[in-house]
Amino acid sequence: MPDRSYLDWPFFDDRHRTLAADLDAWAAAHLPVSHDDPDAACRGLVAALGADGWLRHSGADAGERLDLRTLCLIRETLARHDGLADFAFAMQGLGMGAVSLFGTPSQRDWLARTRAGTAIAGFALTEPASGSDVARIATTARRTDRGYMLDGEKTYISNGGIADVYVILARTGEAPGAKGLSAFLLPADTPGLEVVERIEVMAPHPLAHLRLSGVELPESALIGSPGGGFKVAMTVLDTFRTTVGAAALGFARRALDEALARVQTRRLFDAPMADLQMVQGHIADMALEVDAAALLVYRAAWTKDSGAPRISREAAMAKLHVTEAAQRVIDAAVQLHGGAGVRRGTRVEALYREIRALRIYEGASDVQKLVIARAVLAGAEARAARKDGGPA
Ligand code: COS
């Protein structure tokens, strides 16, 4: 029986504990699904997660807050059972994150559909020439009599090709750089939007390169204010980066569980592997990484849920440390499995491929270091200013 003692930590309320147990039972009955056809798998997963109510948690009604601990527990649990199920859930949340946080009542009609599992969402931020440097987005949104006309390219867009709706960032030009971007709601069947390439990756999931040629959107497609798109994107990422840490935590827990089963059943040198001190060294390192990871993820989620206006530092720490730690834990699990660890189709082999992208997407580890350092330096500056008699 896997260790669930962390659910007793004070970060959680009883409703979180109940949800985690219920979802674990649901996942044990429904997962994993076949990954042979990732498009079909994701469509099926979105429909099933929607029908059974889990996707309701991927968004929030107007005036309601996204509960970050719930999002993290769901991603952690799904990731422990099936990476593609976590992906399907996560993209409904990230894709519609801007609408949850800033959407108008009519934009929320789409949110109702993605939360019911009857529509699939995508978040179109990255471009061929700007991944980490969001302020350099080159896709343009020109004002027209009827609204906006968008032209440009977006790449590595998750759910590209199967999404029904995207949130897209484009340059409206109110100011140079970060202050000249706006966010839009873009239905996938809008004329001029084209999927030009499906991208294959080492842990397959729907991913595509999109082109926008003269895409016309009404004024009502604008999310937030003109020029406010960068802050919309960063606020969404602050929330969902913590959940990337939670998914990595789920992968790491699964790797530890697989390793424990392996070392307790396989014999080596006339004894169970678990009796060997070098094996125990691995197990100790893995368990420590998992617990430290969980503390960082749920610290960030609890801080947000407790009303903190901004958790850039906590979210970046959770994403950076936990994705990197999960990679180490999974690598150790592969090592403890010997030849079976690299055999295609084993759970640890799949985890080894699945974890890698998490250290890159939604802000690479290197970008998280930048975010953490800026927040720490700004905090030190603010404390120094207060000492000098500045405002508290
Ligand atoms: N929440 C709210 N506002 C934020 C913010 C946040 N998390 N981060 C920055 N801002 C604000 C800043 O306060 C600043 O506004 P003011 O000038 O009014 O103070 C403005 O946005 C610009 O911020 P900054 O100067 O820090 O922007 P930079 O261009 O230097 O970029 C990084 C910041 C690199 C951190 C950002 O581009 C980033 O996160 N990149 C990674 C993107 C990513 O995750 N891509 C993966 C996409 S897969 S979905």
pLDDT tens sequence across 50-60: 999 999 999 99
DSSP E strands, the chain: 121-124, 140-143, 147-158, 165-171, 181-187, 193-198, 207-218, 222-223, 267-268, 271-272
Residue of minimum CA distance from atom 48 in ligand 1: 362
Whose CA is closest to 257, among 384, 76, 62? Answer: 76
Indicate the pLDDT class of residue 387, thresholds 50, 70 and 90.
confident
Atom of ligand 1 nearest to the CA of 312: 7
d(CA 118, CA 239): 24
Indicate whether 390 pLDDT > 60.
no
Structural domains in the chain, sorted by start: 5-116 (1.10.540.10), 121-227 (2.40.110.10), 231-380 (1.20.140.10)
Q: Is the CB of 166 under 6 A from ligand 1?
A: no
Q: Whose CA is nearest to atom 39 of ligand 1?
A: 363
Q: Respond yes or no: is residue 64 known to be catalytic.
A: no
**Ligand 1 touching residue 126 (CB < 6 A):** yes
Token couple for 30? 């429904």
- For ligand 1, whether the C-beta of 370 sits within 6 Å is yes
pLDDT in tens, 270-318: 999 999 999 999 999 999 999 999 999 999 999 999 999 999 999 999 9
- For the stretch 315-336, pLDDT in tens is 999 999 999 999 999 999 999 9
Q: What is the CA radius of gyration of the chain?
A: 22
Protein residue closest via CA to atom 10 of ligand 1: 231
- Residue 156 alpha carbon, nearest atom of ligand 1: 48
Ligand 1 in reach of 229 Cβ (< 6 A):
no
- Locate tokens 């397959």: which residue? 204
Q: How far apart are CA 193 and CA 187, in angstroms?
A: 9
| Statement: the pTM of the whole predicted model exceeds 0.85 | yes
Q: How much is the average pLDDT of 90-109?
A: 97
Q: Tell whether omega for the bond before 32 is within 30 degrees of 0, i.e. cis.
A: yes
pLDDT of residue 1: 64
The string of pLDDT tens digits covering residues 162-192 is 999 999 999 999 999 999 999 999 999 999 9
